[in-house]
């Protein structure tokens, strides 16, 4: 199937509260201090830090600002890292594992401070429910809560099935872990707000301007679509799942995985609150998760499913609707008005991949489903490294990553692995 289902109009694009106009091609300078490839959360965050520090910055993207995962994800503001902290502790030791977790918590403060400083209207809402899809998952959620508390997270509560039923109008779940310091946002409005902030600080953003080659050296040279070129001292690669083969060697470190989202028609305030009383984000406890939340205009946004094979549903709304009705059968009469997909970037061990290639090419990717909050903070760490402070960057760059297999084995191997986890979700 074609990629049309992934590129269809999203709820976010239809409800964006501001437009963005990037720099014109005629404004392209011959040289800047730093170039950023990718106008999503990672790239815009790095560019904002560099521009605010007085560096000349040019950002390039194949499409418009936020056209990739940053502008089409589920909008969840999560805590920590998707596989937990055991991998950090094993590889880095207790002290540096804690540094990494503290970085993930700082990511929330960075987001809220930018929202306030730059007046970004993105419907930030606090409250997050990890719902147990099986009775056996309650113990796993308690273990997760214990780990979060060990790392200093407060505002956690375990909810019984009855307590959860008072909050979420579904019989599908058996209890939940609630976080007060996690939640959700309108992801594209936040991304557009960051882009305006970059411009406000003096950075330049060139939309629909593909980088076709990067030649490391002194200076680094970027070839652009249309035969143009720009030189710089450092490059930040912030393409994540959309990296392709631009930087040789990096493409095997991250795998693009398709994920899908639908959004209902407006439900009205009363009906919406009967679904999720306190407007919290909800995600289930399966390995292949379903997640849901209410939008500011009282729609249910429901996401989940994933495809490692590269084969997408022919009718995405029809494919996703039964998953939504399994959780909320009372929405049988509600129309699905938006359906779209996109790619997230995962690593083999589900830990973010941060590093430097050659002398001047810095990168961060592979957020494995936690990118909304992590990408902005790791973009800041890339900027710190470019500005001369590599302390925190160096800790993350020590995390070892196995490459995904290449060639014809790349997707079949991942698809087979995911079949195991789907069966585990069903049987657990």
The structure's pTM equals 0.94
The residue to which tokens 């499409």 are assigned: 63
- Residue 47 backbone zone (phi > 0: left; psi -120 to 50: alpha; other: beta): alpha
Residues 230-283 pLDDT 10s: 999 999 999 999 999 999 989 889 999 999 999 999 999 999 999 999 999 999
Q: Is the dihedral of CA 360, 110, 22, 39 positive or negative?
A: positive
3-state secondary structure 191-210: HHHHHHHHHHCCCEEECCCC
The confidence band for 7, taking pLDDT boundaries of 50, 70 and 90, is: low
Q: What pLDDT sits at residue 5?
A: 58
**Any alpha helices (H) in 53-85, and if so which ranges?**
none
428 lies in a domain? no
Q: Is the dihedral of CA 47, 254, 252, 66 positive or negative?
A: negative
154 lies in a domain? yes
Residue 362 token pair: 């810095």
Residues 101-135 pLDDT 10s: 999 999 999 999 999 999 999 999 999 999 999 99
Q: What pLDDT sits at residue 208?
A: 96
188-209: burial string, b at 16+ Cβ within 10 Å, e else: bbbbbbbbbbbbebebbbbbeb
- Tell me if 92 sits within 8 A of 85, measured CB to CB: no
427 lies in a domain? no
Residues 148-172 pLDDT 10s: 999 999 999 999 999 999 999 999 9
Residues 26-62 pLDDT 10s: 999 999 999 999 999 999 999 999 999 999 999 999 9
Q: What pLDDT sits at residue 157?
A: 98
Mean pLDDT of 324-348: 96
Q: What pLDDT sits at residue 418?
A: 43
What total of structural domains would you count in the chain?
A: 1
Q: Closest Cα to residue 38, out of 221, 231, 199, 239? A: 239
The residue to which tokens 């060139």 are assigned: 206
Q: What pLDDT sits at residue 288?
A: 84
90 lies in a domain? yes
> In 3-state terms, what secondary structure has residue 58?
strand
17 lies in a domain? yes
Question: Is 412 a residue whose pLDDT tops 70?
Answer: no
Q: What pLDDT sits at residue 305?
A: 80
Question: Is 423 a residue whose pLDDT tops 50?
Answer: no
> In 3-state terms, what secondary structure has residue 239?
coil
Q: What pLDDT sits at residue 311?
A: 73
Q: Closest Cα to residue 111, out of 177, 41, 162? A: 41
Question: Is 361 a residue whose pLDDT tops 50?
Answer: yes
The confidence band for 420, taking pLDDT boundaries of 50, 70 and 90, is: very low
- Average pLDDT for the chain: 92
Q: What pLDDT sits at residue 3?
A: 54
Q: What pLDDT sits at residue 314?
A: 85
Question: Is 373 a residue whose pLDDT tops 70?
Answer: yes
The residue to which tokens 């070892």 are assigned: 400
426 lies in a domain? no
Q: Report the alpha-carbon distance of residue 247 to residue 211 in Å, rounded.
A: 11
The residue to which tokens 């795998």 are assigned: 255
Q: What pLDDT sits at residue 422?
A: 47
H or E element in which residue 37 lies: strand 31-37
Question: Is 289 a residue whose pLDDT tops 80?
Answer: yes
45 lies in a domain? yes
Residue 154 token pair: 């407060």
Residue 297 CB: number of other CB atoms within 10 A?
A: 14
Q: Report the alpha-carbon distance of residue 371 to residue 70 in Å, rounded.
A: 8
Question: Is 284 a residue whose pLDDT tops 90?
Answer: yes
Q: What pLDDT sits at residue 270?
A: 98
The confidence band for 425, taking pLDDT boundaries of 50, 70 and 90, is: very low
> What is the percent of the chain with per-residue pLDDT over 90, rounded to a whole number?
85
Question: Is 11 a residue whose pLDDT tops 90?
Answer: yes
The confidence band for 408, taking pLDDT boundaries of 50, 70 and 90, is: very low
> In 3-state terms, what secondary structure has residue 84?
coil
Q: Report the alpha-carbon distance of residue 355 to residue 381 in Å, rounded.
A: 10
Count Cβ atoms within 10 A of the Cβ of residue 88 and give its class: 0-12 exposed, 13-18 middle, 19 or more buried.
Answer: buried
- Tell me if 358 sits within 8 A of 220, measured CB to CB: no
- Domain carrying residue 311: 4-418
Q: What pLDDT sits at residue 287?
A: 78
- Give the domain CATH number at 49: 3.50.50.60
Residues 61-97 pLDDT 10s: 999 999 999 999 999 999 999 999 999 999 999 999 9
Q: What pLDDT sits at residue 421?
A: 41
325 lies in a domain? yes
Residues 306-323 pLDDT 10s: 776 667 788 999 999 999
Q: What pLDDT sits at residue 409?
A: 46
- Tell me if 79 sits within 8 A of 148, measured CB to CB: yes
Q: What pLDDT sits at residue 411?
A: 52
């Amino acid at each position: 199937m074609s990629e049309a289902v992934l590129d269809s109009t999203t709820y976010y694009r239809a409800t964006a509260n501001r437009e963005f106009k990037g720099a014109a091609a005629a404004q392209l300078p011959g040289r800047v201090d730093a170039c950023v490839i990718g106008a999503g959360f990672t790239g815009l965050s790095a560019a904002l830090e560099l521009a605010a520090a007085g560096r000349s910055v040019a950002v390039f993207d194949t499409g418009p600002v936020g056209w990739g995962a940053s502008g089409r994800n589920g909008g969840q503001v999560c805590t920590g890292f998707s596989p937990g902290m055991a991998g950090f502790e094993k590889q880095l030791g207790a002290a540096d594992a804690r540094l990494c977790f503290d970085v993930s918590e700082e990511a929330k403060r960075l987001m809220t401070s930018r929202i306030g400083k730059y007046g970004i209207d993105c419907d930030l809402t606090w409250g997050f429910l990890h719902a147990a899809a099986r009775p056996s998952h309650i113990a796993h959620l308690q273990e997760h809560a214990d780990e979060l508390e060990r790392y200093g997270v407060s505002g956690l509560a375990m909810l019984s099935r009855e307590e959860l039923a008072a909050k979420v109008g579904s019989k599908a779940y058996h209890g939940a872990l609630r976080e007060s310091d996690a939640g959700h946002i309108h992801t594209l409005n936040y991304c557009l707000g960051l882009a305006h902030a970059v411009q406000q600080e003096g950075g330049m953003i060139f939309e629909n301007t593909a980088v076709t080659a990067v030649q490391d050296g002194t200076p680094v040279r970027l070839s652009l679509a249309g035969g143009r070129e720009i030189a710089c001292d450092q490059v930040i690669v912030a393409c994540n799942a959309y990296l392709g083969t631009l930087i040789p060697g990096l493409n095997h470190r991250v795998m693009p995985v398709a994920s899908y989202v639908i959004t209902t028609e407006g439900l009205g305030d009363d009906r919406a609150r009967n679904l999720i009383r306190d407007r919290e984000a909800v995600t289930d406890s399966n390995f292949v998760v379903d997640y849901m939340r209410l939008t500011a205009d009282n729609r249910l946004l429901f996401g989940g499913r994933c495809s490692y094979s590269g084969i997408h549903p022919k009718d995405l709304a029809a494919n996703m609707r039964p998953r939504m009705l399994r959780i909320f059968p009372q929405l049988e009469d509600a129309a699905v008005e938006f359906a779209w997909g996109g790619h997230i970037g995962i690593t083999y061990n589900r830990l973010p991949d941060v590093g430097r290639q050659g002398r001047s090419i810095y990168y961060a990717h592979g957020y494995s489903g936690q990118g909304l909050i992590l990408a902005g903070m790791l973009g800041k760490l890339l900027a710190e490294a470019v500005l001369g402070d590599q302390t925190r960057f160096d800790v993350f760059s020590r995390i070892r990553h196995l490459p995904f297999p290449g060639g014809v084995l790349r997707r079949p191997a991942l698809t087979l692995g995911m079949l195991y986890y789907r069966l585990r979700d069903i049987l657990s």
